[in-house]
Structure 1
């Protein structure tokens, strides 16, 4: 998809191209009116009128049919033929005995129209235009030499290798330079498109700051051990809903949910590591760890609790299923960076901390909790723990893990309705509820993060 800036540049380039075309027309018209075309007035008049018609048609095509490439090619071919007529109109109209050297007007128009084609920055069009003009030009030089030479071969060669041939070579070198510029532009344009595509793909998973870091080729993308906060978000009973829901409804619900979750994650400087069906894995501290990763991750999780609760209530009011969400949050050491696996390279994190965060998200279902946080993450907070009705649970055994861990979770309030009704709820936007639900209004228990 073309960017707005790219469209603006294309429009500006087209305006410059049109101006050059009408400069050439003004020169032709002035030459016709001032009588600088003795012996070829009729041919010159035909060229001027034809060029005016072609110019108007070319401008109209650029305005109303910008994507018809064959029309652009047609106008370039017609321009080339008209240049040939301008260059040697006096040959067609004058007797053999007269001087058939090139006129200044013909040369000026030829070079102006070459630059006009060059401004399109399409090397194919430059090649077509210059190829036709040069081939015709050389042919006309040969015809002129044949009409003026004496019987011997030396005079024929002398008639061919004259000043006009040097001008032809100059035109050819100019055309080559413009062709090389158009080729460089083609390569730069393709690289820019690839960069935009990479940036678009990255922006689906990373916050803008992380995207900038990755584009600069930072060493942070190398696979290495680092500390990070890992978050898993998952919808409850989504599989049952997906089995019976129409495809359009399923796509709408899943897309809205992902948009909401990823937007909130990006808002807090996190990274969406991957989407797994209705699950989302996010990382805070990837690709570069910071001192407040745990704080941002917890703030994001609490905002997601509110936002997903609002989203659920909005869905119910509009006839969609009430889908609760569970969030697991843990802090630990991971191996993060670009994981090369042959045909597919993935920017991700792996390690025990990832497995623990996923187990905590599953644990949220058995606790009937919207959020379960490990004590390891609580211990990493630099700011006071956000006010909420935290419920501690010690020595929780996680499946597949030998050592138990301590956790803190929030109990889900049955029938909770947002404190502030938002009748203008936009499903595509990120909802951050500042009026937290009732389970977040009580002060935290003392020493909650020290155990």
Structure 2
């Protein structure tokens, strides 16, 4: 028999919980694109240094740029092989150090007079690297970069106000740098807020995609349960319903013990689930030793034909499985299948705490009554006359009507095969 499905991996559980996978963030913060962004920043700084050299210490300026280029290349190569959280923090601190150095060096060069082009060149690394850090979607990294750059920038302004002779800092230089600092702080707030919004949007997109992928494992292609803007609401549609139950399961439990029969139950569930999937149906839920499935795709006749074909295949597979069980000295398992058709409410019911696929309506209650009558009579298969009518021209001619009994006023008119197709699966 087909083994039961394995539990969802941790990554899938994180998606279901609305978390952005760390591996995805690592890809955004490293790899060829991140290396290319750092290369662009370096080329912009190199060009700016050629066009406008506002440095009193040209040698140290070129040394810093060279060191940044080499360290960026090393970090890029390391991240290409194996992205690591420690590497991303080193990259963030390195970017902040470069931005701080260029700002402070330009401020110390204020003796030659404040220059608008020079201000732009000195602030360019801080803003470019702030945007680059924010685009990695690492909120804490973006906050750290902003705090380091703004903190050192503010400290240097305070030192310049306290002792203007340091580097011949002028009042005009301080005014220009104060405006630049305020602009950087405002931009940092916008980037951090944008990063948070992007993470939220990505988390929602991943959650919807996870729901769509998870439902696609069990839902036929013609049943649209997840739309672009979220899970589709409950809506009325025609469905053919199948309920399967193991007859005498409680007695088997008493004789063979719970630990033994649990494996039998899981094997039957796997067999039924595989068969329902094969015929385009959807397993709704397991209730004790029972299975509830729906056939929602296609016309009413196509749904009924698929449900009946599913019941026939379950019969054949149970017969083969029981043959193997008997040869091993185990009892055969008898199952009852009930079939019904009608209008139901279908969709994903989400109360904010748990979302599950749901089928609601009077047809579900009628299905339970059909199953109860079939079990009481020991029938392997029973169906409502409405289900039989749904088959149309495909309806078998040799089915017999089951007489209605006292107390079954709410039960639909029932039919059963003259020769039960599931008889070979009985005890």
TM-score (normalizing by structure 1): 0.68
Aligned residue in 2 for 1:330: 340
2:273 aligns with: 262
Contact 1:234 / 1:280 at 8 angstroms: preserved in 2? yes
Superposed displacement of residue 328, structure 1:
0.9
- Pair 398,367 (structure 1): closer, same or farther in 2 beyond 3 Å: same
**Aligned pairs for 1:38-437 within 5 A:** 38-42=56-60, 44-45=62-63, 48-49=66-67, 52-53=70-71, 56-57=74-75, 60-61=78-79, 63-66=81-84, 68=85, 72-89=88-105, 97=111, 102=118, 106-144=122-160, 146-148=162-164, 157-162=171-176, 164-199=177-212, 202=215, 206-212=219-225, 221-222=234-235, 228-239=239-250, 253-285=264-296, 290=300, 292-313=302-323, 322-332=332-342, 347-351=358-362, 353-365=363-375, 369-385=379-395, 390=398, 392-397=400-405, 400-401=408-409, 405-409=413-417, 410-412=420-422, 414=424
Change in CA separation of 1:259 and 1:165 when aligned onto 2, cut-off 3 Å: farther
| 40 and 312 in structure 1: CA distance in 2 versus 1, 3 angstrom threshold | farther
> 2:322, 2:332 within 8 Å by CA — same for their partners in 1?
yes
CA offset digits 1:360-395 (Å, max 9, x no partner):
4345456655322233321222232369xx552441
SS of 2:223's partner is helix
In structure 2, do the counterparts of structure 1 residues 318 and 182 end up closer, same or farther at CA, with 3 Å as the change threshold?
Answer: farther
| Count of residue correspondences | 399
Name 1:443's counterpart in structure 2: none
Given candidates 36, 61, 69, the residue that maps to 1:19 is: 36
> Which structure is higher in helix share?
2
Alpha-carbon deviation of 1:327? 0.6
Deviation at 1:276, TM superposition (A): 0.2
CA pair 134-203 structure 1, distance change in 2 beyond 3 A: same
Give the TM-score, by structure 2 length.
0.71
Runs of 5+ consecutive residues of structure 2 not aligned to the other structure: 1-10
| Gap regions ≥5 residues in structure 1 | 417-451
Tell me the alpha carbon deviations over residues 324-347 of structure 1, each in whole angstroms, 9 at most, x when there is no partner.
Answer: 322111235667778899987873
| CA offsets 1:230-250 (integer angstroms, 9 cap, x no match) | 321122444455565686x76
Report the secondary structure of 1:181's partner residue: helix
Q: In the alignment, which residue of structure 1 is the partner of 2:7?
A: none
Q: What is the CA–CA distance in structure 2 between the aligned matches of 1:331 and 1:415, rounded to whole Å?
A: 24
Kept in 2: contact 1:292–1:381 (CA 8 A): yes
CA contact (8 A) 1:315 1:321 kept: yes
Contact 1:330 1:377 (C-alpha < 8 Å) held by counterparts: yes
Q: Which has the higher contact order (CA 8 A, sep 6+)?
A: 2
SS for the counterpart of 2:394 is coil
Rounded to whole Å, the distance in 1 between the matches of 2:269 and 2:278 is 14
